[in-house]
Amino acid sequence: MTLLREEKDGILYLDFNAPPVNVLKAETLRDLARIFARDSRVKVAVLKGSGKMFCAGLDVKDHLPDKVEEMIRLFSELILGFFEFPGLVVSVVHGGAFGGGCEIAFCSDLLLAEKGADFGQPEIKLGVFPPAACALYPVLFPSKISNHIIFSGESVKAEELERLGIVNRTFERDILFERAHQFLLPLTKLSSAAVRLAKKASHVHLPKLKDNLETVNRIYLDELMKTEDALEGLTAFLEKRKPTWKNR
């Protein structure tokens, strides 16, 4: 994947540029984590995507036993980096955000979306679960909302998420990026010190989030990945067939 970078009016734009659906690979996670660690003076950093959608998630091949531990570690470092970043992390979603792409969007400080955009965590249908979502959504959202997203595997429209307070604003596709830019411009005029400390104050629960994520990751790696159904579900997806569950 090529990660495009552009600064405009004090806003840093980071574009997932692997159309059509922007599947994230390990090198992109590393690049993003480095940017958030290095560019600490940026007040507003925006994640967006090229092609048909924002992001279809992490490469399913990286969920297989030989790569999964590194993938889980890199993705966890990236998500925690959002909370530790002194500026505001914003996702601007068009088309859809699924799997890891949905976790990135939901764990951003602000979320703007195209009307009609789909958000979902389909992992349960592959015999696995989304670790970051399981660890963080119950803290970030009401439990019934996070439970539906995690256990159903079904998509939710941006308008419904806006009604629930998870999406900040929705715009029509043809004006999404222009309106998002205008929406974010006032944030670039704020005091960096005030933003940094307000974010620190609003994330006093960060140690709990880190503990939650570490515990959930161990469940994923030490228990889930030892089940027959996890390997069957991932393999079936890659082979484009329906999984045959053994329920163990």
Domains detected in the chain: 2-192 (3.90.226.10)
Helices (H), the chain: 26-38, 68-84, 100-106, 131-140, 143-152, 158-164, 176-184, 192-202, 206-222, 228-238
Report residue 8 as tokens. 């405009």
Confidence band (pLDDT; 50, 70, 90) for 2?
Answer: confident
Mean pLDDT over residues 37-50, rounded?
Answer: 91
Pairing state of beta strands 2-8 and 11-17?
antiparallel
Picking from 154, 130, 149, the residue whose alpha carbon sits closest to that of residue 79 is 130
pLDDT at residue 174 greater than cutoff 80? yes
Give pTM, 2 decimals: 0.96
pLDDT at residue 192 greater than cutoff 70? yes
Angle between the N-to-C axes of helices 26-38 and 68-84, in degrees from 0 to 180, rounded to the nearest 10: 20
pLDDT at residue 41 greater than cutoff 90? no
Place of tokens 């570490």: 214
Helix, strand or coil for residue 3?
Answer: strand
Place of tokens 């799997």: 99
For residues 53 and 95, is the Cβ–Cβ distance under 8 A?
Answer: yes
pLDDT at residue 1 greater than cutoff 60? no
Q: CA 8, 199, 22, 143 torsion: positive or negative?
A: negative
Picking from 110, 83, 119, the residue whose alpha carbon sits closest to that of residue 169 is 110
Picking from 44, 55, 140, the residue whose alpha carbon sits closest to that of residue 89 is 44
Radius of gyration of the chain (CA): 17
What local confidence, expressed as pLDDT, does residue 86 receive? 95
CA distance 131 to 114: 26
Mean pLDDT over residues 160-187, rounded?
Answer: 98
pLDDT at residue 133 greater than cutoff 80? yes
What local confidence, expressed as pLDDT, does residue 39 receive? 77
| CB neighbourhood size of 246 (10 A) | 10
